[in-house]
Amino acid sequence: MEKLKNYIDGILIAPFSNNYINSYDPATGEVFTMLPDSDNEDVELAVKSAENAFPHWSSLSAEKRAEYLLKIAGLIKNNIEKFASAESRDNGKPVQLARSVDIPRAVKNFEFFASAVTQFSSESHHTGTDILNYTLRQPIGIAGAISPWNLPLYLFSWKIAPALAAGNCVIAKPSEVTPLTAYMLSEICIEAGLPNGVLNIIHGYGHKAGSAIVSHPEVKAITFTGGTKTGKDIASVAGPMLKKISLELGGKNPVIIFNDCKYDEMLETTVRSSFTNQGEICLCGSRIFAEKDIYEKFKTDFVKKVKALKTGDPLNADTDIGAIVSKQHYEKILYYIDLALKDGGKILCGGNPVELKGRCKSGWFIEPTVIEGLDHNCRANQEEIFGPVVTIMPFENEEEVLQKANSTEYGLASVIWTNDLSKAHRVSANIHSGIVWVNCWMVRDLRTPFGGMKNSGVGREGGLEALRFFTESKNVCIKI
């Protein structure tokens, strides 16, 4: 069985411990590869190599760094099929989703930040007639990047690309659950001739390799995407060390459907915003509020469409819902379905594991599930399930729905469906989330700020916000 390797100082090497972790194909439940169980010795080596690489990398022109990023983007694009099937196998997502969204967006991340850094400028301020202030934005040094399993290469590259573009060296850890495309990225970086030590990819557990990155004194900034609890743990270590921190955390996103919306478009998109990637996207809407006079119609039409979704082998072209990423996560989702039932919820469709035949007979699959009759304060409506499970609830008016939508500890994204422009502006302004989609979902322009309020995160990534995060601002004040 193939053993993945760490990418340190430009080469692929085994972990110091020589220990490996099993990696499972969630569609079959079988181990299909092994990844390094890295620890602080591997991280130490990566830090040394990044320190050596930093003076040269940070002194290259933005155009030169952009050339490397574009080379990496091009090589991923040339291997899109290979990357898409690896992502599907590792994560359980339908291969057509990996082919049309995950991998193209990873390519875009490299392309976008290659271009953005060449447009990055800073301010100058003239103070009276004889004083000039200007701002230098200089790379920080070594940045640590830690990412989750749901959009493996997409989110990994979302962090790595701006950090490298801004002139930093990076030590990155993908989720131990989905290491494969990060490993393939290290092969691509070697092929692209990225200078040794500029990017180091360390595999392993969060509590070992991840925490060694976070606590290393030479790693000056941490960009993390993952669960809120892990984010708090990371902040408790990195905060007292006065590191720069960007945390993109969990969500419990509301979808608010007013009776004046474009109904068919809303229905189509709400199925996608509920169940794309098995609901394992931090931006999926999991609490659906429909205005009272269209609630029954919405319920009937929505459930009919959800029942028509096909759960199956992620490698089949007609599969809508693939496998749940791990056995542990599969059990967590089933636990929440059970909890919702105990709290008085009524399952309108789904609610059960799916047993497939043939290759996928031992895989982890769950039917897309719609639940009604729950109080907005119950645990299934307050805690992140992060699976193919949504709840639906009627509401009477704007005030009530805003209060309920804002009632969780999270504030990542929200979706509003209305044709009334004033209402759209009003609700957008009053909803507690970092991203608001009106009459659409998952439309991404990489120039926009991305991140969450409340327990959904600290800081913003995307566009110039990311380049600002990965640089240190310095004010130079000159008397002329």
Nearer to ligand NDP, 206 or 312 (CB): 206
**Beta carbons of 256 and 269 less than 8 angstroms apart:** no
Nearer to ligand NDP, 251 or 314 (CB): 251
User: Which of the 8 DSSP states describes residue 279?
Assistant: G
The residue ranges that bind ligand NDP (CB under 6 A) are: 146-150, 155, 173, 175-177, 205-207, 210-211, 214, 225-227, 230, 233-234, 248-251, 282, 384, 386, 412, 452, 456-457
First to last CA, the chain: 67
Strand runs (DSSP E) across 292-364, as ranges? 346-349
**Beta carbons of 479 and 128 less than 8 angstroms apart:** no
Nearer to ligand NDP, 91 or 369 (CB): 91
Question: Of the residues 189, 261, 282, 284, which is catalytic?
Answer: 282
Q: Closest separation between CB of residue 203 and ligand NDP, Å? A: 9
**Beta carbons of 165 and 62 less than 8 angstroms apart:** yes
Nearer to ligand NDP, 38 or 369 (CB): 38
Nearer to ligand NDP, 425 or 444 (CB): 444
Both tokens assigned to 151? 């959009």
Q: Closest separation between CB of residue 226 and ligand NDP, Å? A: 3
Nearer to ligand NDP, 210 or 368 (CB): 210
Q: Closest separation between CB of residue 123 and ligand NDP, Å? A: 29
Q: Closest separation between CB of residue 225 and ligand NDP, Å? A: 5
Please indicate whether residue 349 is annotated as part of the active site.
no
When CB distances to ligand NDP are compared, the closest residue is 206
Please indicate whether residue 282 is annotated as part of the active site.
yes
- 3-state SS, one letter per residue, for 200-258: EECCCCHHHHHHHHHHCCCEEEEEEECCHHHHHHHHHHHCCCCCEEEEECCCCEEEEEC
> For helices 152-165 and 103-119, what crossing angle results, to 10°?
10
Region of 459 (left: φ > 0; alpha: ψ -120 to 50; beta: rest) is: left
Question: Of the residues 87, 248, 461, 465, which is catalytic?
Answer: 248
Q: Closest separation between CB of residue 235 and ligand NDP, Å? A: 10
Rounded CA separation 417/440 (Å): 8
Rounded CA separation 311/302 (Å): 17
Q: Closest separation between CB of residue 319 and ligand NDP, Å? A: 22
**Beta carbons of 433 and 411 less than 8 angstroms apart:** yes
Write out the catalytic residue numbers: 248, 282
